[in-house]
Amino acid sequence: MLPRMIDVARAKLPGGDIGEYQIGRGMSGLVLRHLEMSVDEFVECVRTAGDETELGAQLSKRKTAKENRMVSLRLRRVTVADVPDDLRESFVRFYGADVPANKRVIDILEEDDARAFGQA
């Protein structure tokens, strides 16, 4: 999830183009709450970090490795059925209404990245 958030944060910087992507709601909102950061604070960390390694080091200082693993496991369990009502309309607009309720959201996001940016 973090690499996707970093890409979106970079798109919010001058010269970037965020398009229809957003940060701070849904899965990225869960990560930011875990890190106890606002969107603006996260974008500023991305802006000032020399690279992903430096950014990772900055962010890892905010929580223990165990806490970070726990939130990662939690994110991996979120399914379409868990999408909150206030995000349901935008979720359907992006990913369609026919996504199975038991499909993991992280898998949908990875598929979206592969479509948008090609396989790594």
Q: Is the pLDDT of residue 87 over 80?
A: yes
Task: Clarify whether residues 63 and 114 are in a common domain.
Answer: no
Q: Is the CB of residue 47 less than 8 Å from the CB of residue 14? A: no
Task: Clarify whether residues 61 and 113 are in a common domain.
Answer: no
Task: Clarify whether residues 24 and 67 are in a common domain.
Answer: yes
Q: What is the pLDDT of residue 119?
A: 62
How many structural domains compose the chain?
2
Query: Distance from CA of residue 70 to its chain's centroid?
Result: 16
Task: Clarify whether residues 34 and 19 are in a common domain.
Answer: yes
Task: Clarify whether residues 67 and 98 are in a common domain.
Answer: no
Residue 3 sits in which domain range?
1-77
Task: Clarify whether residues 69 and 107 are in a common domain.
Answer: no
Task: Clarify whether residues 31 and 52 are in a common domain.
Answer: yes
Task: Clarify whether residues 70 and 114 are in a common domain.
Answer: no
Q: Exposed/middle/buried for 5, CB within 10 Å: 0-12, 13-18, 19+?
A: buried
Give the pLDDT mean for 5-22: 89
Task: Give the pLDDT confidence of 34-50 residue by residue, as tens digits.
Answer: 999 999 999 999 999 98
Is the pTM above the cut of 0.85? Answer: no
Task: Clarify whether residues 13 and 57 are in a common domain.
Answer: yes
